[in-house]
Structure 1
Amino acid sequence: MTFTAGVPHDFSELLLRLYRLSHELPIDAFQDAALDLIKPVLPFDSSMWGTATRTDHGIDIHTIHLHNQPVEMVTAYEQVKHIDTAALEVGKRPRSTLAFNADAWFCADDQAELRDYGRRFEQANFFISSDANPQTNFVHWLSLFRADPEAHGTEEERQLLASLSPHVMQALAMNRVMHLDRLEAGGASPGGSAIGDLRGVLYHADRLFEATLKAEWPSWHGRALPDALLQHFLQGHARFNGREIVVTHRVEQHLLFLRCRPRCRADSLTPREHTIAELLARGDTHKEVAAILNRSPATVRNHIQSIYDKLQVSNVAGLIHELRLAG
């Protein structure tokens, strides 16, 4: 691959391959594949790719993907992040890219511990590119490391990463949305969807998700999940039943994949009633349901009448329709 002003002649082909990967690969494979795609045109040995909030004591990491680095690196970085002046520098502007030698950049007397950390994890030369929100101090960044102290990054390479990184970050966002779409494939009930991290920051939310959540929390601003909802999920609950809405989630790759919808009549069923309703929907008679649940047929008939009353239906076809609305 040849270069002109820091950009490869087949840069467009590289981007097409990157976006193709974002659509084709599962969420747990995309980031390593994207980095392997970059490596031939911008050589590096390892990487740290994630999101964080900038604080007075260094970055507060929300999500992180390590490429050819041990997990201990994150714990070790927490001990030295307060003296990481490179992270401070890239956070000064909404979008910036640096290329530097670690010993030359972290040369102050009080940064000796950071230099030792870099040698331990073979981070002799750095590339860092970031996209920061100055209002929220939230930053999405990509760091590439070279182990060879003599393998300094060039200005041409820095410009290449500056051109590439917005596409890399957008491709990651697209890969996550594609994963969300796959999770929802075949879902019968209408509803909104979103992706957030375990700190509550939202990376993606469609209009229906935002409108539905505002029905429950009218003053919600949309940048992060309502704290009551986040804490409910962090306490181990899979489902949030609000006054106006129902929200479900699953966790993958340290992200929350969320689905919300307005409450419907089926949400008023008790767990036992919901079980009976599901059995009826699959075609079991009330006597078969009684045998399955080890209850008398009379007791099951009473439950069925309560279910029909709550769902405001008079037959199994209506029951099936109401259950589908609940997804």
Structure 2
Amino acid sequence: MTRPAALHDFSELLLRLYRLSHELPIDAFQDAALDLIKPVLAFDSSMWGTATRTDSGIDIHTIHLHNQPGEMLAAYEEVKHLDTAAVEVGKRPKSTLSFNANAWFHRKDQAQLRAYGERFEQSNFFISSDVHPQTNFVHWLSLFRSDPDAHGTENERQLLASLAPHVMQALALNRIVHLDRLESGGQAPGGSAIGDLRGVLYHADRPFEATLKAEWPSWHGRTLPDALLKHFLGGHARYSGRAVVVTHHVEQRLLFLKSRRRCLADSLTSREHTIAELLARGDTHKDIAAILNRSPATVRNHIQSIYDKLQVGNVAGLIQELRLAG
């Protein structure tokens, strides 16, 4: 008699989780999702993120700390090479563990890791991970209990194993919904994607893939091209290449990317683009001359250059070409 009720409760939790993924902003979703889990799987704090497995431990790409101080991450970096639990969950594509920290990290050489766990009140662990076997890229969720006697049960471990794929998928959907909202301002048609600051792509639609392959024909699609990532990490908001234009917006240590094919308006200089925008809003060449403190003759020359580059003969054609550039 209890199984149908439990199934109903689980289904209701998932419905609420996916509803939150569509309703909440990205800076609020992960805490809300974790608070949703607590009544059915009690824990005190959490570490939720993505990483790449290396010989010296996990190399973290993104991280969300729940009820843990920011210094926890720096402290973990010093002991991660001792974390045999991270190694264990990385052995299979999908894995979920439940264990007591002192019992698992019992070796003499793991004393520093045990001290770290005591400092941040991580006495009992739940860890669930999803590992890409070809790239060693990991999406994982760790839940911590501070009470040394509050051991996890097998039923709880199985519950997290069932929940974790939905939690990770809901996070992916929450980010895609955020990306859609960023694009709702009537931008030029093109592609979109989400990546992290290490260049790993979490989502990319087909137009995005098509535009990047036009610029980099051998691009494989799992990570951003090195030239593009270095350009953005160098502080540039816009990449203008031979065949593609890509812009980005950073939130929560994620790159929200927009791509499109290069168009005629991309050949305009900064001054020409300013004049084109003023023409598009209805200003005359004399108005523009006054605004820019230039002679009317100089502005007329700029306008002719703009028309030549855009291959148009009037303001209506100019407006259409500017729209293609977003």
**TM-score band, normalised by the shorter chain?**
over 0.9
Q: Secondary structure at the match of 1:10?
A: helix
Rounded to whole Å, the distance in 2 between the matches of 1:291 and 1:123 is: 67
Rounded to whole Å, the distance in 2 between the matches of 1:3 and 1:41 is: 15
Give the letter for the 1:222 counterpart: G
Rounded to whole Å, the distance in 2 between the matches of 1:4 and 1:73 is: 39
Q: Secondary structure at the match of 1:80?
A: helix
- Asked if 1:190 corresponds to 2:194, the answer is no
Q: 1:285: how far off?
A: 1.2
- The answer on whether the counterparts of 1:3 and 1:9 sit within 8 Å (CA) in structure 2 is no
Q: Deviations over 1:71-125 (max 9, x none)?
A: 1000000000000000000000000000000000000000000000000000000
Stretch of structure 1 that moved more, 195-204 or 178-187:
178-187
- Asked if 1:80 corresponds to 2:87, the answer is no
Q: 1:187: how far off?
A: 2.3
Determine the structure 1 residue equivalent to 2:46.
Answer: 47
Determine the structure 1 residue equivalent to 2:17.
Answer: 18
Q: 1:264: how far off?
A: 0.3
Q: 1:186: how far off?
A: 2.8
Q: 1:18 to 1:3 in 2, by over 3 A?
A: farther
Give the letter for the 1:159 counterpart: Q
Q: 1:3 to 1:287 in 2, by over 3 A?
A: farther
Rounded to whole Å, the distance in 2 between the matches of 1:295 and 1:92 is: 68
Determine the structure 2 residue equivalent to 1:322.
Answer: 321
Aligned residues: 326
Q: Deviations over 1:168-222 (max 9, x none)?
A: 0000000000000000003241100000000000000001111110011110000
Rounded to whole Å, the distance in 1 between the matches of 2:32 and 2:205 is: 27
Q: Deviations over 1:53-73 (max 9, x none)?
A: 000000000000000000100
Q: Secondary structure at the match of 2:300?
A: helix
Structure 1: give runs of 5+ residues left out of the alignment.
Answer: none
Moved beyond 4 Å, runs of 4+: 2-5
Structure 2: give runs of 5+ residues left out of the alignment.
Answer: none
- Asked if 1:90 corresponds to 2:81, the answer is no
Q: 1:114 to 1:3 in 2, by over 3 A?
A: farther
Determine the structure 2 residue equivalent to 1:70.
Answer: 69
Determine the structure 1 residue equivalent to 2:203.
Answer: 204
Q: 1:13: how far off?
A: 0.5
- Asked if 1:173 corresponds to 2:172, the answer is yes
Rounded to whole Å, the distance in 2 between the matches of 1:239 and 1:102 is: 47
Q: 1:9: how far off?
A: 4.0
Q: 1:8: how far off?
A: 5.2
- The answer on whether the counterparts of 1:48 and 1:67 sit within 8 Å (CA) in structure 2 is yes
Give the letter for the 2:221 counterpart: G
Q: Secondary structure at the match of 1:136?
A: coil
Give percent identity, aligned residues only.
Answer: 83
Determine the structure 2 residue equivalent to 1:101.
Answer: 100
Rounded to whole Å, the distance in 1 between the matches of 2:291 and 2:2 is: 70
Q: Deviations over 1:279-317 (max 9, x none)?
A: 111111111111111111111111011001100111111
Determine the structure 2 residue equivalent to 1:162.
Answer: 161
Q: 1:224: how far off?
A: 0.2
Q: Secondary structure at the match of 1:32?
A: helix
RMSD: 1.4
- Asked if 1:274 corresponds to 2:287, the answer is no
- Asked if 1:264 corresponds to 2:255, the answer is no
Determine the structure 1 residue equivalent to 2:129.
Answer: 130
Determine the structure 1 residue equivalent to 2:228.
Answer: 229
Determine the structure 1 residue equivalent to 2:37.
Answer: 38
Rounded to whole Å, the distance in 2 between the matches of 1:131 and 1:36 is: 21
